[in-house]
């Protein structure tokens, strides 16, 4: 299938009839094509979304929105085999990873279908004869800028609350995953009750579409998932129009292991937390912080697990980790591996696999200097650092040694210690004795340079809503 743009209820090819191939990262072969948009198309889509917001009953009809989201989830479920196959093909995810991502997206859509009909306002007689009415209203047009690493879940976790709140949307897929995003959105656009202009899609070949949406006066909310560097640029570009911003940005998530942890379980959780989706996830366990009393044992076990991991395509049922997204990212990561000896000791050194796919085996590097770029930078791939600590205070100090505060995990059999650490860790999510668990019902977001706002849960609506105060003096 080819992925066209979609504006005001109509599919649109590129202005110059250009088509760009979407590439399978496991083989390097073209799968299908997408039609890139441009600045003019982005503004046209924003204007169409604005008309749908102001000229239809979409924002005021909660029951309509609930039904559309519920049927959207049903269509995704009915097409799950097809969508899982396409996600694996275009993104490189293993089949079980792709299936888990689709299940999460369906859960998001169903959760927000229910939330759409929950009244959010309140009223009170603040003075005798004076009634204050606080209403929660849709913010307007939301531009959703979707990343490539989890293009289904990260699309729907912004799209579903935006629609539940009553916003209309312009969606900008990542160029690496335009096909799966269009396939997901086709399940929404198939609903005959959705007004034209509520859902608009503009594909991207570079950065001009995203920049145009951030600058547009017709856009009231930007929901972006991606790097902190790009998030900061969005904040600057959005300042002239004072847009609302929902930003889930970079992470450098520590997994902290105490000596009383169940080491077998910890090794399994750390490996899963670090190497799912080939380490290309903002909440991945990218730093292992291990108590000195168990450092040698854990280092040995992790090295064995990393070295034995079977890297391969989703088409091979025995594969345990898929490729990185493309060759450019593989070369970037290989450069980091080649220079890693300058910052620490390579426990397991990653290597490229032969063939056309962008496969890279995992790397584990022992680092003593918290200022190392391997510790400070979000590497976004299967390169994990191993650091040690001797006390809770040192663990906290090292965990907080970066500008990020997205997620962390604590592994200990002492739940009192686990909760004590969770209270003191300045991260938006803290897992105890596990890593990388997310739910539609539970909010996530970052401290520090990991972002603004929260996604998932009831609070996920907040970024897409405004509060209005109406006062009635009735006596």
CB 66 within 8 A of CB 113: yes
CA 457 to chain CA mean position, Å: 15
Residues 6 or more apart in contact with residue 383 via CB below 8 angstroms: 279, 286, 333, 336, 337, 340, 350, 362, 363, 365, 374
Q: Which residues contact 103 (CB under 8 A, 6 or more apart)?
A: none
CA distance 179 to 299: 40
Residue 180 CA to residue 351 CA, distance in Å, equals 29
- Bridge partners of residue 467, in order along the sequence: 136
Task: State the pairing for strand pair 363-367/344-348.
Answer: antiparallel
Nearest CA-CA partner of 221 in 8, 49, 401: 49
The set of catalytic residues is: 248
DSSP 231-283: HHHHHHHHGGGT-EEEEE----EEEEE-TTS-HHHHHHHHHHHHHGGGG-STT
Q: Are 350 and 383 in contact (CB under 8 A)?
A: yes
Element (H, E) at 308: helix 295-308
Count of alpha carbons within 13 angstroms of residue 416, beta-carbon side: 0
């Amino acid at each position: 299938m080819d992925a066209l743009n979609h504006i005001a209820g109509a599919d649109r090819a590129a202005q110059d009839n250009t088509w760009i191939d979407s590439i399978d990262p496991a083989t390097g072969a073209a799968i299908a094509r997408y039609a890139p948009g441009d600045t003019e198309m982005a503004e046209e889509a924003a204007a169409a979304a604005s008309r749908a917001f102001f000229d239809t009953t979409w924002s005021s009809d909660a029951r309509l929105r609930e039904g559309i989201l519920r049927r959207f989830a049903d269509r995704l479920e009915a097409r799950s085999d097809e969508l899982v196959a396409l996600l694996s093909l275009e993104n490189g995810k293993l089949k079980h990873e792709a299936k888990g991502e689709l299940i999460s997206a369906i859960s998001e859509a169903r959760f927000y279908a229910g939330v759409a009909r929950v009244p959010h306002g309140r009223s009170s007689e603040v003075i005798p004869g004076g009634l204050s009415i606080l209403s929660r209203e849709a913010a307007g047009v939301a531009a959703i800028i979707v990343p490539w690493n989890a293009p289904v879940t990260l699309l729907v976790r912004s799209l579903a609350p935006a629609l539940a709140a009553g916003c209309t949307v312009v969606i900008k897929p990542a160029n690496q995953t335009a096909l799966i995003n269009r396939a997901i959105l086709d399940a929404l656009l198939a609903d005959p009750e959705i007004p034209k202009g509520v859902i608009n899609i503009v594909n991207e070949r570079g950065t001009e579409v995203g920049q145009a949406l951030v600058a547009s006066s017709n856009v009231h909310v930007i929901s972006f998932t991606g790097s902190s560097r790009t998030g900061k640029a969005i904040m600057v570009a959005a300042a002239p129009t004072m847009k609302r911003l929902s930003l889930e940005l970079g992470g450098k998530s520590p997994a902290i292991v105490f000596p009383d942890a169940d080491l077998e379980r910890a090794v399994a959780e750390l490996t899963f937390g670090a190497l799912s989706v080939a380490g290309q996830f903002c909440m991945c366990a990218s730093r292992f912080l291990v108590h000195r009393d168990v450092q040698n044992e854990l280092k040995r076990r992790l090295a064995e697990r990393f070295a034995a991991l079977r890297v391969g395509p989703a088409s091979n049922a025995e594969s345990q980790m898929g490729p990185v997204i493309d060759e450019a990212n593989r070369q970037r990561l290989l450069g980091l591996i080649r220079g890693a000896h300058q910052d620490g000791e390579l426990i397991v050194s990653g290597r490229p696999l032969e063939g056309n796919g962008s496969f890279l085996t995992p790397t584990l590097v022992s680092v003593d200097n918290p200022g190392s770029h391997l510790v400070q930078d979000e590497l976004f791939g299967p390169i994990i650092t191993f650091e040690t600590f001797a006390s809770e205070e040192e663990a906290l100090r090292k965990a907080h040694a970066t500008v990020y505060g997205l997620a962390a995990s604590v592994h200990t059999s002492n739940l009192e210690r686990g909760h004590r650490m969770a209270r003191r860790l300045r991260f938006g999510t803290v897992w105890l004795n596990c890593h990388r668990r997310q739910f539609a019902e539970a909010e996530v977001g970052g401290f520090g340079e990991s972002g603004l706002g929260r996604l998932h849960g009831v609070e996920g609506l907040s970024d897409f809503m405004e509060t209005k105060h109406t006062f009635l003096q009735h006596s």
